[in-house]
Amino acid sequence: MKRGMSGPIVISIILHALLILMFILKWNLDKPKRPAGGGGGGGGIVNAVVIDQLKFDQHKQFVKQQKTKKLEEAKEQAEAKQAAAEAARQEKLENAIRLKKEKQQQKEAKEKERKLEVEKQKIEAEKKISLEKKKKEELKKKLEEEKKLADEKEAARKAEQQKKLEEKKKLEEEKKLEEKKKADQEAKEQAAKEAKEAKEKALKEAKEKAAKDAKEKADKAKAAKEKAKRDAADASKLEDELLSEDIGGAAAGPSGNSSKPSTSAGPGGSGGGDPGYGDKVANMIEQRMLIDQNMRGKSCVVKIRLAPDGLVLSATAGSGDPSICRAGITAVNMIGTFPAPPSDAERTINATIQPQ
């Protein structure tokens, strides 16, 4: 600020010095000459001095005014410079604030853009996760549907298999029932035939021996009649036993306990026919059984019902060790068909299985 004001002051001093010099020169030029005498010249000198003093005062006042004016101008210039500097500083400050604000706005814009980008990426990621989740759910649903379809097919297959087994069992039972009916019918026919033949024979003998005693005739007729009655009763009893065995499934066990493996044929553990047939069946079962060490010394009774041709109709566990019973029944089912029983009485066998 001091350096800015020194230039105008110096110029002002120089101008003032030049003005003073001009007044001095003018004063010297305008100074009147003294008259030749010394008597009357005193008044002119006094006037000149008064005039010069007035001019000097005017000049001094002028210089003072000029100096004041210069000082004011210098002050105004200084104030203008200061105002310009302040305006420049203010402008610079405003520019700095504006730049800072612009930078802040740019920063905020970038931050906003970054947040928008992050939000966009987040939305894309969520969409991707949602899509993957949807795909997984669809795949899971598809697998579940496939499994359900497979289970339904398997259930249908098992149902069909069970149905076939039941149909087979039903056919076998119908076949057995038909065979039983046929046997019963044959037995009835045979009994009726025998009764008829006996009656005819009695009548023939009665006619041929008309001359014999009436008592003998009556006794023979009575004997024939009783025989026919017994035959009919035996046939009816056999029919009742077979029907009861087929429908009720009554179990028949061995007639007694023995330390030696034994096999009984027929209901109640007794029956006629080949006594070795039951042992043959038991041996076949033991040969096909899966035996372990824990079965040694144990036994089980397995009841087997056979068709006339030896086909296994059923195999059930009786008394004894359950594991041996299971192994024995499995062996019976594996065999499927035994040699034909020698008689109908041996179609039901109580086989005692005792692994050695």
Tokens of 325: 């019973």
Q: Is the pTM of this model over 0.85?
A: no
pLDDT (0 to 100) of residue 166: 93
pLDDT (0 to 100) of residue 243: 46
Say which residues have a Cβ less than 8 Å from residue 238's Cβ, sequence separation at least 6.
184, 187
pLDDT (0 to 100) of residue 226: 67
- Which positions of the chain have pLDDT values less than 70? 1-7, 27-52, 202, 206, 210-211, 213-214, 217-218, 220-275
**What is d(CA 105, CA 142) in angstroms, rounded to the nearest whole number?**
54
Q: How many CB atoms lie within 10 A of CB 191?
A: 20
Please give the biggest Cα pair distance in the chain.
252
pLDDT (0 to 100) of residue 228: 54
Tokens of 194: 């025998």
**What is d(CA 38, CA 74) in angstroms, rounded to the nearest whole number?**
52
pLDDT (0 to 100) of residue 168: 92
Say which residues have a Cβ less than 8 Å from residue 339's Cβ, sequence separation at least 6.
277, 280, 310
pLDDT (0 to 100) of residue 192: 79
